Chain A
């Protein structure tokens, strides 16, 4: 669906408020998803997504139309969420506790239903173990299918930095998975050296 980029976006760039509302409508899910995966809480994700659109709205004149609007707005969202992590030091759930953490969310949100699923809770808990920039790189890679180059542009990093962050994040995710699922893999032999 190319409507915002081809029709609404140019109008929005000219200051048309209604056109920007259409842009918000079109990009709400990718922006919200990034914020949710970064922050792990529906309420914080909602606030972060709203703030992202406000920042985009205020800085529309700085948008380089040769770039993808999606990458640009995801960049705003990712940086905001990384800043939020730094500022608030979000409480990280202990990995062992994720299965128990399935109480219904009080927010009137369909994701509350989804968050009850074990897989959603496991994913959130796994991502909580990553530092904010590694987490953003993993989210952009797996949910948005961005290339390493695009991730580098979005996060203002070099391509080699993105590669090493992704690699480090994968190792961390694997380790956390093993720690949470000792039964899923055979018990570590005591005479074996760790591979890390």
Chain B
């Protein structure tokens, strides 16, 4: 038996025309397969239409408020890390581009020669500077050198601690955007 278009009509959402409805009724009287389908869909349709809205468990809004603070903190922390990663990436990319530029614009031999000359020149400059500094240090009292080194080391320590503190605070609280 041909079940079309009756089977389409059974599941159709829009209302049927009067004529189609009469045809469907007549078909259902003679077709047990479509009868079964119609009965099943009527049951399901009734159940869907009468199903209530499922409410959330009590305290949903309180849980939202609690999770909002937590999510914000995580979001800000993520922003700090993203900023750090973007800056690091930009630095590495720039470095890679500079290296690429140098490699592409110089032959390996000339590059090696230049590097070798630069290193040799730097070594000579270092030796000269060392000799000058040694000569200069001999004229300064040893106590003053020790005091200078102590001040320099103290400043380095303070700077490293301050940087560490700022980074910890930023990663915990984030950087305010507003």
Chain A interfacial positions (CB closer than 8 Å to B): 15, 17, 21, 24-25, 28-30, 32-33, 36-37, 42, 45-46, 49-50, 53-54, 57-58, 107-111, 114, 119-120, 122-123, 126, 138, 141-143, 166-167, 170-171, 173-175, 177-178, 181, 184-186, 188-189, 192-196
Query: Chain B interface secondary structure, helix, strand, loop or mixed?
Result: helix
Determine if B41 and A174 form an interchain contact, defined as CB atoms under 8 angstroms apart.
yes
Determine if A192 and B1 form an interchain contact, defined as CB atoms under 8 angstroms apart.
yes
* B contact residues around A173 at 8 Å (CB): 41, 44, 48
Determine if B39 and A184 form an interchain contact, defined as CB atoms under 8 angstroms apart.
yes
Determine if A138 and B48 form an interchain contact, defined as CB atoms under 8 angstroms apart.
yes
Kindly name the residue among A30, A36, A50, A184 whose own CB sees the greatest number of chain B CB atoms within 10 A: A50
Distance of A108 Cα from B131 Cα, bound (Å): 80
B33 CB, nearest partner CB in chain A, Å:
5
Distance of A88 Cα from B146 Cα, bound (Å): 65
Binds A, one of B51-59, B98-106, B116-124: B51-59
Determine if A181 and B40 form an interchain contact, defined as CB atoms under 8 angstroms apart.
yes
**What number of B residues sit within 8 Å (CB to CB) of A?**
42
Chain B interfacial positions (CB closer than 8 Å to A): 1, 3, 6-8, 10-13, 32-37, 39-41, 43-45, 47-49, 51-58, 60-61, 63-65, 67-68, 71, 75, 178
* B contact residues around A45 at 8 Å (CB): 54, 56
Residue of A49, A184, A186 near B32 (CB, 8 A) is A186
